[in-house]
Amino acid sequence: MRSFLIVIAISLVAMSGFGFQQKNFSTFVYHRFGDDRYPSTNLSLDKFEEQLAFLAENNYQVITLNEAFKQVKSKQTAISNVVVITIDDAFKSFYQNGWPLLKKYGFKATLFVNTKTVGSSDYMTWEELKEVKAEGIEIANHSHAHPYFMDNFNINAFYSDLIISDAFFRNMLGEIPDGYAYPYGEWHPKMGDLLDSLGYTYAAAQNSGVIYKESPPFQLPRFPMSDNYADLQDFKQKVNMNALEVTKINVIDNGFQGSSLKPRLILNFNEGAYDLKNLQCFIQGTKAKKSIRVLKDGNVELSIWPEDELKKRRTLFTVTVTDRQGKWHWFSYSWLLPSVKQ
């Protein structure tokens, strides 16, 4: 099996200092609300309200992803107490159960819509989408047919689907969205390039992490939320998490002993900003193999790879570390094996 990408190098602007005045915010992705038929993607209403009450009691600004990303990219002073709630698929349970709770607390959110299912059983209608949009919910694109684009990836297939969804949004809501969420969180750099060329300003994936000024705009991370991941203490930790501000990423699919099932993730970040004694690396929740070296330019080069061969279609590589003040920072990367079908 081959992963979709042999080598990708992403150069990011270096941090301006070690004080972490850099702005960042946590974003969460939800699917269903109060719908026990689908436990893997559902969040109980009690847990959702518990999260919203915590945000309200602690004076968090809960705004749309478009608004928050514009703030973090443009403001000269650090933003604080910003959290973003996003919802994928526009299931009816959001309209019936989730949205009333957001309204109760005066919070905004971003709703990613796959246009083919609008009006179908269990999904919101265009009239309902217009209603929530008028109340401050950002409507964004989640494709037309919600396919597995990375199965035999072809950029023309992605473009064709995108053009259809854009036409629906234009005809039904009067405008094309600014944002996009990749179906299943699976993406290819060419997809982001195309979205950029067509006027989109950001795209969201589903790997966990914190968004900051230098986050690649077409690979924005989001913490998944369902009953399995919605413990209030865990939610609080993620709300208060900071970004691990990497300066370079290399992803190599034959990174260990020539095996494409033991890929190597290589990250560069500034040594002076972090306390490496508290560095932790995980692959799908279990400790990963790692090596660390300090480069001449003062950056740390961290390599991580799995002990065993990967078997799942999507595997999350996660790195956490504290800064010199003891605050935790987070980075993750979702490794994809498209030959593993779902």
Say which CATH number the domain at 230 has: 3.20.20.370
For 145, the token pair is: 């047919």
Largest CA distance in the chain: 59
User: Does residue 231 carry a pLDDT above 70?
Assistant: yes
Cβ atoms within 10 Å, residue 296 = 5
- Supply angle C-alpha 268, 220, 72, rounded to 5: 90
What pLDDT score was predicted for residue 43? 98
Same domain, 255 and 236: no
User: Does residue 159 carry a pLDDT above 70?
Assistant: yes
Q: Mean pLDDT over residues 265-277, rounded?
A: 94
What pLDDT score was predicted for residue 9? 44
Residue 213 CA to residue 193 CA, distance in Å, equals 19
Per-residue pLDDT band for 77 (boundaries 50, 70, 90) equals low
Same domain, 102 and 233: yes
Count of domains in the chain?
Answer: 2
Same domain, 57 and 143: yes
Residue 132 CA to residue 297 CA, distance in Å, equals 50
Q: Mean pLDDT over residues 308-328, rounded?
A: 94
Residue with tokens 């993750």: 332
User: Does residue 255 carry a pLDDT above 70?
Assistant: no
Residue 242 CA to residue 245 CA, distance in Å, equals 9
Same domain, 40 and 129: yes
Q: Mean pLDDT over residues 238-258, rounded?
A: 82
User: Does residue 4 carry a pLDDT above 60?
Assistant: no
Same domain, 275 and 227: no
Domain that holds residue 178: 23-240
Among 240, 273, 304, the domain boundary falls at: 240
Cβ atoms within 10 Å, residue 82 = 20
Among 203, 219, 240, the domain boundary falls at: 240
What pLDDT score was predicted for residue 78? 67
Q: Mean pLDDT over residues 56-81, rounded?
A: 89
Q: Mean pLDDT over residues 281-285, rounded?
A: 94
Cα-flanking dihedrals φ and ψ of residue 322, to 5°? -90, 155
Higher-pLDDT residue of 273, 168: 168
Contact 247, 12 (CB under 8 A): yes
Same domain, 136 and 264: no
Same domain, 84 and 201: yes
Among 221, 240, 259, the domain boundary falls at: 240
Identify whether 259 is part of a domain. yes
Same domain, 120 and 230: yes
Same domain, 51 and 198: yes
Same domain, 319 and 183: no
Contact 131, 76 (CB under 8 A): no
Could you list the beta-strand ranges (E) of 170-230. Answer: 179-181, 202-204, 210-212, 223-224
Identify whether 134 is part of a domain. yes
Q: Mean pLDDT over residues 195-210, rounded?
A: 98
Q: Mean pLDDT over residues 240-245, rounded?
A: 96
